[in-house]
Amino acid sequence: MAELLQMESTEETESGNHTLLTEFVLSGLSSRPELQHLLFFTFCLVYTLTVVGNLLICVVTVHPTLCTSMYFFLRVLAFLDVSTASTVVPKMLVSFLSEDRSILYMSCATQLYCVIFFGATEWYLLAAMAYDRYVAICNPLRYTVIMNARVCLSLVLLSCCSGNVVSVVQTAWVFTMPFCGPRKINHFSCDIPPLILLSCTDTSLYEKQMVAATVLVIFTPFCLILVSYACIISSILKISSAESRHKTFSTCSSHLIVVILYCASGTLNYLRPNSRNSQDTKKVVAVIYTTIIPMLNPLIYSLRNKEVREVLIVTMAVLVKK
């Protein structure tokens, strides 16, 4: 892959001369100088909450009372959230305080690969979590047999492998396009929509491929999730006790909230990758799925889950006593 990323497609034209493109320049989230310090402290707080919240989820869900597959998937989700934010936010924070917003060509490729890998893997993981909830609610007597440790680990590995394939293909495709225009990326990170705008070749074929990839990564898991939840809702409606129905639906609603947030932001960002008029909108959307959702996930899953709340309270009490 390194050979693909270092091909002669990295040439740019400046006054008729071809020079090797060794770096890009990120425009950042905002060009207004008076907002830079405010944005720095805001996203520094967001990143801190993201890391602390997701690490707490990882620590809390290893408790013996939370040893089911649902909490195993939740730990993996927390790890992916921290990884996604850590790929983007540190560079963003530096850009708020520094006039030098350059990023090396290979660093840009690596960042793009990581963003796509963690994002795609998370989508497939969300589909696995929906299947886990389907088994737990629609086939509760065989839940521990069907969703054993081997099956859970296999689903996570399959999600990672699928995410890796998507990421390698997308990153290689983008960075084998010739960049011969301006080297300034109208974004706070290396992402597909602003990068393909810098290409001096026809990107229509890539746009079609991007739509196909969006369908594969977002809509295919989303359809599987919808099917799972259609079966789940059908089973919930058959429960006679209103309290049991509410409790069962509550365990699923958190997952649905996350799925809807990811689906909306991912669709807005990648279905029209070459739209020049919506680059500022795409920045806002990218902020949502790379920083805001990873911060909200611990709140969504912990505050709406009684078991997690109870273990978290006990854990915090033990830490305070120490």
Read off the pLDDT of residues 274-313 as tens digits, 9 standing for 90 and up.
Answer: 555 566 777 888 888 889 989 988 888 776 677 777 777 7
Per-domain residue ranges of the chain: 23-314
Q: pLDDT at position 303, please?
A: 65
Compute the C-alpha angle 220/223/224, nearest 5°: 90
Q: Could you tell me the strand order of the sheet in which 23-26 lies? A: 102-104, 23-26, 184-185
Smallest CA-to-CA distance from 270 within 209, 189, 228 is with 209
- Look up the CATH architecture of domain 23-314: Up-down Bundle (1.20)
Are 225 and 107 spatial neighbours (Cβ–Cβ below 8 Å)?
A: no
Q: pLDDT at position 62, please?
A: 83
Quote the CA–CA distance of 226 and 232 in Å, as a whole number: 10
Quote the CA–CA distance of 269 and 214 in Å, as a whole number: 10
Are 263 and 127 spatial neighbours (Cβ–Cβ below 8 Å)?
A: no
Beta bridge partners of 179: 199
What are 287-290's contacts with CB under 8 Å, separation 24+?
287/29, 287/188, 288/261, 289/84, 289/119, 289/261, 289/262, 289/265, 290/84, 290/85, 290/87, 290/88, 290/89, 290/115, 290/189
The radius of gyration of the chain from alpha carbons, rounded to an integer in Å, stands at 22
Beta bridge partners of 24: 103
Quote the CA–CA distance of 73 and 294 in Å, as a whole number: 15
Quote the CA–CA distance of 250 and 75 in Å, as a whole number: 19
Are 128 and 155 spatial neighbours (Cβ–Cβ below 8 Å)?
A: yes
Q: pLDDT at position 41, please?
A: 95
Q: pLDDT at position 21, please?
A: 67
Task: Point out the residues of the chain with pLDDT beneath 70.
Answer: 1-21, 181, 243-244, 247-248, 251, 272-279, 303-304, 318-320, 322
Smallest CA-to-CA distance from 265 within 235, 226, 304, 222 is with 222
The 10s digit of each residue's pLDDT in 44-76 is 999 999 999 899 888 888 877 788 888 899 999
